[in-house]
């Protein structure tokens, strides 16, 4: 009789380039398992749960094409794995490592407990190009600045090739019990995400299709188009990558192959801005591993005493896209309506919250965590600490985005604002990012009544900037 292997899925919801699957399928009957557990100190946000629901459906459909299926459980992972071992007589467990502090801790606990029970455990590195503890500066310490970090990574000569999924594997004659997807209760209770399938295709097939589209239509123009929120100039792969529906190695290899066809040397394409963005993802996990307190505490200790000015009304206006600054409001409405926001606009909206409104960056991070389909603890933490000026390689606090100038620079014709703030759609370009300054006749012709149809700015940027600078001077950050 063949041995049996449990394939434990987590943030690797795919078949291709999945070393745990390759190992599990070696002369073995494979039992694919996903265990829903909310034991983390950062429980998955509502938008991410929506994505997970559909990704699990997609994974199960892919498995069934191979005569297999996905076994769903919920509860303590170690307890459930022990139960499945007893029910199936499986001898091996294969899984891919996670890299959040909680994930590493839980994985180590599970691995040690199973080995003590004499189970055969195989754990693989597959979520990042480099494990966070493997890249160090010349002193053997973690990096705090991105450029030397990524230079050190590239010097390691990234050459790992993604592995191909086995074409077939053996399933057990009898399956253990499984919950239905509805039993996990992942979908939002609010009628919030009912249109999101118009924007997204969760799952491995959707990820591969999106990668192909990006390489063919946007990668080689990425450096020029990535900052324009009205065009499809970014990859839109972030959620697929977070849930492991596609691996970073697969993305790297696919771009490498596309560049070779165009006879573009590695020294050139590896310096592209998109590849650099993959490097920022690696850097985010590097920082999270070495500084695990950063999801809730600033990396720069001086910011512990920063005087925020918490204002629930301002926070609500920001969340609902009713601040009176069109580029900010467009981004926040795009987020609510699609579960995603363009990266340039993420920076603008974050800067506005922490610097114009002086609201704690942790509050913004929690809102993004709950509303982004691509919410990722490492990247979310890095992004918000960068915007607040309190993290590694952070934007200086005194660099405060002017939301009007940002809108005029990156949405010059107002296409993005008109899409997400339709009440301003008839305003001329010259006023689209500052409607409160438009002449009365222009406002009337556009059919807009300020304060009723669209709010006036909740703060004056020029004054807010000075207030923020004064707050900064009081802490004198290093």
The whole-number pLDDT of residue 159 equals 62
The whole-number pLDDT of residue 395 equals 67
Do 309 and 176 meet the contact criterion of CB atoms below 8 Å apart? no
Q: Tell which phi-psi region holds residue 339, choosing left (phi > 0), alpha (psi between -120 and 50) or beta.
A: left
pLDDT above 70: percentage of residues in the chain: 98
Nearest 5°: CA angle at 327, between 321 and 332?
30
The whole-number pLDDT of residue 191 equals 81
- Phi first, then psi: give them for residue 4, nearest 5 degrees: -120, 140
- The stretch 401-419 carries a mean pLDDT of 98
Say whether pLDDT at 477 is over 60.
Answer: no
- How far apart CA 149 and CA 140 sit, in angstroms, is 12
Q: Which two tokens stand for residue 389?
A: 């000026």
- The stretch 263-269 carries a mean pLDDT of 92
Length of the chain: 478
Do 55 and 202 meet the contact criterion of CB atoms below 8 Å apart? yes
The whole-number pLDDT of residue 38 equals 84
User: How, if at all, do strands 71-74 and 28-36 pair?
Assistant: parallel
pLDDT above 90: percentage of residues in the chain: 90
Burial of 154 (0-12, 13-18, 19+ CB in 10 A): middle
Helix and strand numbers, DSSP H then E, in the chain: 21, 5
Do 50 and 284 meet the contact criterion of CB atoms below 8 Å apart? no
What order do you get walking across the sheet with 28-36 strand by strand?
A: 71-74, 28-36, 3-9, 92-96, 120-124
- How far apart CA 328 and CA 411 sit, in angstroms, is 12
The whole-number pLDDT of residue 18 equals 96
Greatest CA separation found in the chain? 84
The whole-number pLDDT of residue 107 equals 95
- The stretch 324-332 carries a mean pLDDT of 98
Which is more confident, 355 or 159? 355
- The stretch 288-302 carries a mean pLDDT of 96
Nearest to 186 by CA among 199, 196, 176, 175: 196
- Phi first, then psi: give them for residue 105, nearest 5 degrees: -65, -45
Nearest to 107 by CA among 23, 10, 32: 10
- The H or E element spanning position 31 is strand 28-36
Q: How many CB atoms are closer than 10 A to CB 40?
A: 14
- Dihedral Cα 312, 315, 319, 321, nearest 10 deg: 110
- The stretch 126-130 carries a mean pLDDT of 93
Say whether pLDDT at 357 is over 90.
Answer: yes
The whole-number pLDDT of residue 164 equals 86
- The stretch 387-396 carries a mean pLDDT of 83
Confidence tier at 162 by pLDDT (50, 70, 90): confident
- How far apart CA 24 and CA 151 sit, in angstroms, is 35
Nearest 5°: CA angle at 94, between 89 and 100?
130
454 forms beta bridges with: 450
Say whether pLDDT at 42 is over 60.
Answer: yes
* DSSP assignment letter at 241: H
- The H or E element spanning position 96 is strand 92-96
Q: Which residues are catalytic?
A: 277, 280, 308, 343, 361, 384
**SS3 annotation, 436-475:** HHCCHHHHHHCCCCECCCECCCCCCHHHHHHHHHHHHHHH
- What is the per-residue pLDDT across 175-194, written as a single tens digit (0 to 9) for each? 999 999 999 999 998 888 98
- Phi first, then psi: give them for residue 94, nearest 5 degrees: -120, 130
Interacting residues of 322 by C-beta distance below 8 A, sequence separation 6+: 329, 455
- What is the per-residue pLDDT across 66-84, written as a single tens digit (0 to 9) for each? 999 999 999 999 999 999 9
Interacting residues of 363 by C-beta distance below 8 A, sequence separation 6+: 310, 315, 353
Q: Which two tokens stand for residue 258?
A: 């596309």
- The H or E element spanning position 392 is none
Nearest 5°: CA angle at 45, between 146 and 190?
145
Do 381 and 294 meet the contact criterion of CB atoms below 8 Å apart? yes
The whole-number pLDDT of residue 190 equals 82
- What is the per-residue pLDDT across 85-114, written as a single tens digit (0 to 9) for each? 999 999 999 999 999 999 999 999 999 999
Do 185 and 79 meet the contact criterion of CB atoms below 8 Å apart? no
- What is the per-residue pLDDT across 196-215, written as a single tens digit (0 to 9) for each? 999 999 999 999 999 999 99
Question: Which domains are delineated in the chain?
Answer: 3-126 (3.40.50.620), 128-161+204-290 (1.25.40.80), 301-475 (1.10.579.10)
The whole-number pLDDT of residue 40 equals 78
- The stretch 279-308 carries a mean pLDDT of 96
Residue given tokens 């992942």 in the structure block = 186
Window from 160-164, 221-225, 335-339 with minimum mean pLDDT: 160-164
Q: Give Cα separations from 86 to 7, 32, 33 (angstroms).
A: 15, 15, 14
């Amino acid at each position: 009789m063949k041995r049996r292997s449990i394939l434990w899925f987590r943030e690797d919801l795919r078949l291709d380039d999945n070393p745990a699957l390759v190992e599990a399928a070696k002369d073995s009957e494979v039992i694919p398992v996903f265990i829903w557990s909310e034991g983390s100190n950062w429980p998955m946000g509502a938008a991410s749960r929506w994505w997970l629901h559909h990704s699990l459906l997609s994974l199960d459909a892919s498995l069934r094409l191979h005569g297999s299926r996905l076994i769903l459980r919920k509860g303590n992972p170690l307890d459930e794995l022990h139960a499945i071992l007893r029910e199936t007589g499986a001898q091996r467990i294969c899984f891919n490592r996670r890299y959040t502090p909680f994930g590493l801790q839980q994985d180590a606990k599970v691995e040690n407990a199973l080995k003590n029970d004499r189970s055969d455990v195989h754990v693989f590195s597959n979520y990042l190009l480099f494990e966070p503890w493997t890249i160090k500066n010349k002193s053997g310490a973690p990096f705090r600045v991105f450029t030397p970090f990524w230079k050190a990574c590239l010097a390691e000569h990234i050459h790992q090739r993604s592995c191909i999924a086995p074409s077939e594997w053996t399933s057990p004659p009898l399956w253990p019990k499984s919950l239905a997807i509805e039993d996990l209760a992942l979908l939002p209770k609010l009628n919030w995400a009912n249109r999101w399938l118009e924007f997204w295709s969760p799952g491995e097939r959707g990820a591969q299709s999106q990668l192909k589209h990006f390489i063919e239509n946007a990668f080689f123009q990425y450096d020029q188009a990535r900052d324009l929120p009205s065009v499809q100039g970014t990859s839109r792969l972030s959620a697929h990558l977070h849930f492991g529906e596609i691996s970073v190695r697969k993305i790297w290899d696919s771009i490498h192959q596309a560049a070779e066809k165009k006879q573009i040397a590695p020294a050139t394409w590896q310096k592209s801005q998109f590849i650099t963005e993959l490097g920022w993802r690696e850097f985010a996990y590097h920082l999270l591993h070495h500084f695990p307190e950063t999801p809730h505490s600033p990396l720069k200790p001086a910011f512990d005493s920063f005087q925020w000015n918490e204002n629930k009304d301002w926070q609500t206006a920001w969340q609902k896209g009713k601040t009176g600054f069109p580029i900010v409001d467009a981004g926040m409405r795009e987020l609510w309506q699609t579960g995603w926001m363009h990266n340039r606009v993420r920076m603008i909206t974050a800067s506005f919250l922490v610097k114009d409104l002086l609201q704690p960056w942790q509050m913004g991070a929690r809102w993004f965590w709950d509303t982004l389909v691509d919410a990722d603890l490492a990247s979310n933490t890095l992004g918000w600490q960068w915007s607040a000026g309190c993290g590694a390689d952070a934007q200086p606090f005194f660099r405060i985005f002017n939301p009007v100038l940002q809108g005029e620079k990156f949405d010059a014709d107002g296409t993005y604002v008109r899409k997400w703030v339709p009440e301003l759609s008839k305003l001329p370009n010259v006023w689209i990012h500052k409607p409160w300054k438009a002449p009365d006749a222009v406002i009337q012709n556009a059919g807009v009544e300020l304060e009723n149809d669209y709010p006036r700015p909740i703060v004056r940027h020029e004054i807010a900037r000075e207030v923020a600078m004064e707050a900064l001077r009081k802490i004198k950050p290093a």
